[in-house]
Amino acid sequence: SYAAPPVLMVAQAWGWDSAFMLKTFGWKAALAVTINAVLVTMVFGRQLLKLDREGSAQGDEGQQPVPLALVLTHLAFLVMVVVLAHHPVLFIGLFLFFMGVVTAYGRHQDRLILREGLLVGFFLAGLVVLGGQQQWWLKPVLTSLSSDAVFWGAMGLTAFTDNAALTYLGSLVDGLSPEFKVALVAGAVTGGGMTVIANAPNPAGVAILRRYFDHGAVNPGILALAAAIPTFVAAMAFQLP
């Protein structure tokens, strides 16, 4: 019913439901995330503990506890976002109400990351509008590749472009085999996308962590190098039968 953009771009066109996603992708993704989380914790455990202590020491001073009613209100908003995801008029009304609550109780809220979210929205809107014009060259390219080739190709491309773009363009091509479709989406989610607007968490992460990087910018070369091992782990997980 809801998922990341690269899945949403193809789920309806290819008839993929939640059960299919769990069976085909879900457990493999969970395995990759677990292994990578354990590796990161083992390598950077001391640094993470240090950050936790520093954050607690700075954050406890003058910080007011968040009322339980406000926590439950946020949870209710999350539930309603899922329920109303396919009803734009009601969704917009819910979103406006959410912004009102955040503004009214600003002392308990972090800054809304609206600008970064709108960048992702404009990108996806442009993808849907302009993507349909790319079928003339995309179909012969994709149909000339094997399932294995498209997996590794998609993984490499989406690391530096966008995974939703590639899966959406793939959904425009008729006659693809089930194995080919799975390989395309698996490669897209393995590569992930390391540009700032490639995935919704990316602009949020950059906004939160920007102050920890030199000149407030993320070095793309170092980011690609750091992502190599986690990407390899994810690739091996998605290659499991």
Residue 50 scores a pLDDT above 90: no
Distances in whole angstroms, Cα of residue 92 to Cα of each of 22, 81, 109, 142, 187: 29, 10, 20, 37, 33
Higher pLDDT, 115 or 55: 115
Q: Between the CA atoms of 212, 217, 162 and 87, what dihedral angle is there, to the nearest 10 degrees? A: 70
pLDDT in tens, 69-82: 999 999 999 999 98
Q: 241: which DSSP letter?
A: -
Top mean pLDDT of 3-7, 141-145, 234-238 is at 234-238
Q: Please report the pLDDT score of residue 201 as a whole number.
A: 74
* Range of lowest pLDDT (34-38, 124-128, 148-152): 124-128
Give yes or no for a contact between 139 and 173, defined as CB atoms under 8 angstroms apart.
yes
* Rounded distance between C-alpha atoms, residue 104 and residue 201, angstroms: 25
* Rounded distance between C-alpha atoms, residue 79 and residue 118, angstroms: 21
122's CB contacts (< 8 A; 6+ apart) are none
* Rounded distance between C-alpha atoms, residue 64 and residue 87, angstroms: 36
Q: Please report the pLDDT score of residue 54 as a whole number.
A: 61
Higher pLDDT, 171 or 117: 171
pLDDT in tens, 150-173: 999 889 888 777 788 888 888 888
Give yes or no for a contact between 211 and 50, defined as CB atoms under 8 angstroms apart.
no
| Res. 61 pLDDT band, cuts 50 70 90 | low
Give yes or no for a contact between 91 and 85, defined as CB atoms under 8 angstroms apart.
yes
* Range of lowest pLDDT (43-57, 103-117, 152-166, 202-216): 43-57
Other CB atoms within 10 A of residue 90 CB:
13
Task: Please report, for the chain, the start and end positions of each structural domain, with discontinuous segments joined by +.
Answer: 5-14+113-238
Q: Say whether 61 sits in a helix, a strand or coil.
A: coil
| Res. 53 pLDDT band, cuts 50 70 90 | low
Give yes or no for a contact between 198 and 224, defined as CB atoms under 8 angstroms apart.
no
| pLDDT more than 70, % of the chain | 91
Which secondary structure element, helix H or strand E, spans residue 237, and what is its range? helix 228-238
* Rounded distance between C-alpha atoms, residue 197 and residue 223, angstroms: 15
| Res. 40 pLDDT band, cuts 50 70 90 | very high
Distances in whole angstroms, Cα of residue 186 to Cα of each of 161, 230, 234, 241: 16, 15, 9, 12
What mean pLDDT is predicted for residues 131-144? 77
Give yes or no for a contact between 80 and 94, defined as CB atoms under 8 angstroms apart.
yes
The one-letter code for the residue type at 109 is: Q
What mean pLDDT is predicted for residues 7-19? 89
> Average per-residue pLDDT in the chain?
84
Residue 114 scores a pLDDT above 60: yes
Q: Please report the pLDDT score of residue 28 as a whole number.
A: 95
Tokens of 111: 């800054």
Give yes or no for a contact between 3 and 21, defined as CB atoms under 8 angstroms apart.
yes
pLDDT in tens, 215-235: 888 887 888 888 899 999 999
